[in-house]
Structure 1
Amino acid sequence: MSSPAHPVVPDPPQNAATGAVHPVDESRPLGRILLFGVQHVLVMAATPISAIFLMSATLRLKPDVTVDLLSAALLLSGVGSLVQSLGPWKFGPRLPFVMLPGGAPLILFMSIAQQHGLRTATGAVLLTAAFTFVVLPLFARLLRFFPPLVIGTMIVIVGVNLVKVGALLVTGQPGTPGFADPARLGLAFATIGLIVLFSRLLRGVLRQLAVMLGLAVGTALACAAGQVHPGALLSGPLVGVPGPLPFGTPAFDLVAALPLMLYSLAAMAEATGQTVINAEAVGKDIDIRSAVPRTVRGDALTSLLGGLFGLPLMVTSGENIGIVRVTGVRSRYVTAAAGVVLVVLGFLTPVARAISVMPPAVVGGAAMTVFAVITVLGVQMLGRARLEDHTATLTCAVALALGLLPVLVPGVYAGFPSGVRILLESGVAVGALTAAVLNVVFHHLGRRTATAATAVPDGVPGPAARA
Structure 2
Amino acid sequence: MAPAVAPVDERLPLPRLAPLALQHLLAGIAAPVSSVILIGTTLRLTAAQTASLLSATLVLCGIGALLQSLGVRALRVGARLPFLMLPGGAAVAIFLQIGKEYGPATASGSVLVAAAFLICVLPFYGRIVRLFPPLVMGTTVVLIGINMVKVTAPMVASGPGPGFATLGVIAVLFLVLRGVWRQMAVLLGLVGGTAIALLLGTDIHLASGAAFALPDPFPYGAPHFDLLAAIPLLVFALASLAEATGQTVLNSEAVGRTPDAGRDVPRIARADALVSLGAGVFGTSLMVTSAENIGIVQLTGVRSRFVTAGAGVLLVVCGLLTPLTRLLAAIPEPVVGAAGLVIYAVIAVLGFSMLSRVDLTHGTDSIVVALALVVGLLPVMTPGLYAPLPPWAHTIFGSGVAAGALAAVILSAAFRHLGPRERPEVTAPETTAPKTTAPEAAAPETTKSEAAAPPTDGSR
Global fold match (TM > 0.5): yes
Instruction: Note the C-alpha offset of 1:432.
Output: 2.5
Q: Would you say the 8 A contact 1:443–1:449 is kept in 2?
A: no
1:183 is matched with which residue?
Answer: 161
Q: Would you say the 8 A contact 1:113–1:121 is kept in 2?
A: yes
Aligned ranges for residues 200-219 of structure 1 at < 5 Å?
Answer: 206=181, 209-219=184-194
Find the residue that maps to 2:196 and give its secondary structure: helix
Classify 1:42/1:271 alpha carbon distance in 2 versus 1 (closer, same or farther; 3 Å): same
Find the residue that maps to 2:227 and give its secondary structure: helix
Look up the equivalent residue of 1:388 and give its one-letter code. Answer: T
Q: Does 1:153 align with 2:139?
A: yes
Map Cα deviations across residues 248-281 of structure 1 (whole Å, 9 max, x no partner).
9x79x9xx54335644431223424654676799
Find the residue that maps to 1:132 and give its secondary structure: helix
Q: Does 1:259 align with 2:231?
A: no
Q: Percent of aligned positions with the same letter in both sequences?
A: 35
Length, aligned pairs only: 412
Find the residue that maps to 1:227 and give its secondary structure: coil
d(CA) in 2 for partners of 1:416, 1:388? 36
Q: Does 1:45 align with 2:33?
A: yes
Aligned ranges for residues 32-431 of structure 1 at < 5 Å?
Answer: 33-35=21-23, 37-38=25-26, 40-51=28-39, 71-80=55-64, 82-83=66-67, 89=73, 90-91=76-77, 94=81, 95-99=83-87, 102-105=92-95, 108=98, 126=112, 129-138=115-124, 140-171=126-157, 178=158, 181-199=159-177, 206=181, 209-227=184-202, 229=204, 232=206, 235-242=208-215, 256-259=225-228, 262-272=231-241, 274-275=243-244, 293-307=266-280, 309-311=281-283, 314-316=286-288, 339-431=312-404
**Greater CA drift, 398-407 or 80-89:** 80-89
Find the residue that maps to 2:228 and give its secondary structure: helix
TM-score of the superposed pair, with normalisation by structure 1: 0.68
**Structure 2 segments unaligned to the other structure (5+ residues):** 9-13, 431-452
Classify 1:183/1:49 alpha carbon distance in 2 versus 1 (closer, same or farther; 3 Å): closer
Q: Would you say the 8 A contact 1:395–1:438 is kept in 2?
A: yes
Q: Would you say the 8 A contact 2:94–2:144 is kept in 1?
A: no
d(CA) in 2 for partners of 1:247, 1:152? 33
Instruction: Note the C-alpha offset of 1:391.
Output: 0.4
Find the residue that maps to 1:98 and give its secondary structure: strand
Q: Would you say the 8 A contact 1:52–1:70 is kept in 2?
A: no
d(CA) in 2 for partners of 1:324, 1:164? 32
Map Cα deviations across residues 177-233 of structure 1 (whole Å, 9 max, x no partner).
x3xx4313432332233224423xxx566555544443333332222222252x515
Cα-Cα RMSD: 4.8
Map Cα deviations across residues 64-114 of structure 1 (whole Å, 9 max, x no partner).
888765643443344345545766554456555412685444665787779
d(CA) in 2 for partners of 1:69, 1:210? 22
Q: Would you say the 8 A contact 1:151–1:273 is kept in 2?
A: no
1:175 is matched with which residue?
Answer: none
d(CA) in 2 for partners of 1:338, 1:164? 34
1:174 is matched with which residue?
Answer: none
TM-score of the superposed pair, with normalisation by structure 2: 0.69
Find the residue that maps to 1:302 and give its secondary structure: helix
Classify 1:392/1:88 alpha carbon distance in 2 versus 1 (closer, same or farther; 3 Å): farther
d(CA) in 1 for partners of 2:273, 2:18? 30
Classify 1:384/1:259 alpha carbon distance in 2 versus 1 (closer, same or farther; 3 Å): same
Find the residue that maps to 1:387 and give its secondary structure: coil
Look up the equivalent residue of 1:45 and give its one-letter code. Answer: V
Instruction: Note the C-alpha offset of 1:150.
Output: 1.9
Instruction: Note the C-alpha offset of 1:146.
Output: 2.2
Classify 1:344/1:278 alpha carbon distance in 2 versus 1 (closer, same or farther; 3 Å): same
